């Protein structure tokens, strides 16, 4: 009789635990669903909290500064060195994109003529095209359509941002508002996460620490590399008298978020075009500068700033970055390597603790 009552009690407790866990998962799913529209703002708020955490602790240690004041000071520094320059670059980039779109509409800029000049400058290109039975008219149409669609997208976004300025300001304000609490309460959130997860405190702190390291290294490293490469690319385009130097500099900065190939996807075709039209001096200058200066920045700074701190091989950083772009858009250059680092960390813990 006693054994039966004991089994009934165990079954009741098991049913209660399962019911509670099911309700917990359902409530968590609903809550995350509610937060989905604010994913970008919350992600970057968390990223700001991680990157500027050392700054916050520095201010916090100065004459026993209150946490609120330390968080405000850290957030103000973030706005000054990150947000304001990015807004200026964004506005200038959209204006340049709109100008490019208007040039395509008016016919002042004809992409097909550039292909004709390359064919004239490099007869081997024409022979290769003939051997492959490629239709040049189709290629010209596709190139023109691509440039037209890209510039139109930029121009439309410029108009959209202007029309939805209130929404843009609200999103930015939400990011900065949440970043304040991420800075002030970041340590408490980590402790709560460690307390809630049932994987062992040591493992949880190791994983969270690794996650923070990767985000910090990826953001600082990739953004620094992108800024330097974009600046150098814009300077060399301006020096060579290439139209839209600022625009192409920003494009090179964005493309440089892709490791290895990055900025070369922009300056490489331009160098080929300069050679094709007989501007050998400009083409050689751009090629040497692209390989010896812009490329050197990628080859030296990225492994030093990203690969060393994340402790991920270069090929894993490349694949995870490309996969991140495909799944999460521009946020993917941070999310992709972070997921890869968690993957490596989980398997490292598994091999250490469960399969020695």
241: left (phi over 0), alpha (psi -120 to 50) or beta: left
The per-residue pLDDT for 177 is 92
Would you say 309 and 213 are in contact if contact means Cβ atoms under 8 Å apart? yes
**Tokens describing residue 161:** 């941002």
CB atoms within 10 A of CB 350: 11
**Tokens describing residue 243:** 């139209």
Q: Which position has the higher pLDDT, 207 or 75?
A: 75
Would you say 312 and 293 are in contact if contact means Cβ atoms under 8 Å apart? no
259: left (phi over 0), alpha (psi -120 to 50) or beta: beta
Segment 9-62, tens digit of pLDDT = 777 787 888 888 899 889 989 998 998 888 888 888 988 988 898 888 888 877
C-alpha to C-alpha distance for 151 and 80, rounded to whole angstroms:
30
C-alpha to C-alpha distance for 49 and 71, rounded to whole angstroms:
9
DSSP state of 117: H
What secondary structure, in 3-state letters, does 283-311 show? HHHHHHHHHHHHHHHHHHHHHHHHHHHHC
- Residue 296 banded pLDDT, cuts 50, 70, 90: confident
Note every long-range contact of 107-112, with CB atoms under 8 Å and residues 24 or more positions apart, other chains counting.
Answer: 110/144, 111/140, 111/143, 111/144, 111/147, 112/140, 112/143, 112/144
Would you say 191 and 210 are in contact if contact means Cβ atoms under 8 Å apart? no
User: Reduced to 3 states, what is the DSSP secondary structure of residue 14?
Assistant: helix
The per-residue pLDDT for 246 is 83
Segment 255-294, tens digit of pLDDT = 877 766 677 778 888 887 777 777 788 888 888 988 888 8
The tokens 């509409």 sit on which residue? 105
The per-residue pLDDT for 273 is 75
pLDDT averaged over the chain?
A: 76
- pTM exceeding 0.75: no
How buried is residue 270: exposed, middle or buried, by Cβ count under 10 Å (0-12/13-18/19+)?
A: buried
C-alpha to C-alpha distance for 339 and 345, rounded to whole angstroms:
10
Asked if residue 133 has pLDDT above 60, the reply is no
């Amino acid at each position: 009789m006693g054994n039966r009552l004991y089994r009934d009690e165990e079954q009741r407790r098991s049913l209660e635990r399962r019911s509670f866990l099911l309700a917990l998962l359902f409530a968590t799913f609903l809550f995350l669903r509610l937060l989905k529209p604010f994913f970008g703002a919350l992600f970057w708020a968390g990223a700001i909290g991680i990157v500027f955490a050392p700054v916050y602790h520095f201010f916090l240690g100065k004459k026993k500064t209150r946490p609120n004041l330390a968080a405000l000071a850290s957030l103000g520094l973030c706005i000054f060195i990150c947000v304001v320059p990015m807004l200026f670059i964004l506005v200038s980039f959209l204006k340049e994109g709109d100008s490019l779109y208007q040039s395509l509409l008016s016919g002042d800029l004809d992409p097909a003529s550039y292909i004709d000049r390359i064919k004239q400058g490099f007869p081997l290109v024409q022979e290769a095209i003939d051997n492959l039975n490629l239709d040049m008219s189709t290629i010209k149409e596709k190139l023109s359509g691509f440039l037209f669609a890209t510039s139109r997208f930029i121009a439309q976004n410029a108009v959209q941002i202007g029309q939805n300025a209130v929404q843009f300001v609200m999103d930015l304000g939400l990011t900065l508002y949440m970043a304040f609490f991420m800075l002030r309460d970041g340590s408490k959130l980590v402790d709560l996460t460690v307390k809630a997860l049932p994987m062992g405190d040591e493992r949880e702190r190791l994983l969270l620490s690794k996650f923070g390291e990767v985000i910090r290294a990826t953001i600082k490293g990739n953004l620094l590399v992108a800024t330097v490469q974009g600046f150098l690319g814009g300077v060399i385009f301006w020096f060579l008298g290439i139209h839209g130097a600022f625009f192409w500099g920003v494009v090179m900065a964005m493309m440089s978020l892709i490791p290895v190939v990055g900025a070369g996807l922009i300056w490489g075709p331009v160098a080929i075009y300069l050679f094709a039209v007989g501007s050998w001096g400009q083409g050689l200058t751009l090629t040497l500068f692209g390989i010896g200066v812009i490329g050197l920045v990628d080859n030296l700074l990225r492994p030093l700033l990203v690969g060393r701190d994340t402790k991920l091989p270069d090929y894993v950083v490349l694949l995870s970055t490309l996969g991140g772009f495909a799944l999460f858009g521009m946020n993917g250059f941070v999310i992709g390597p972070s997921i890869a680092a968690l993957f490596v960390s989980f398997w490292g813990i598994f091999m250490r603790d469960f399969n020695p």
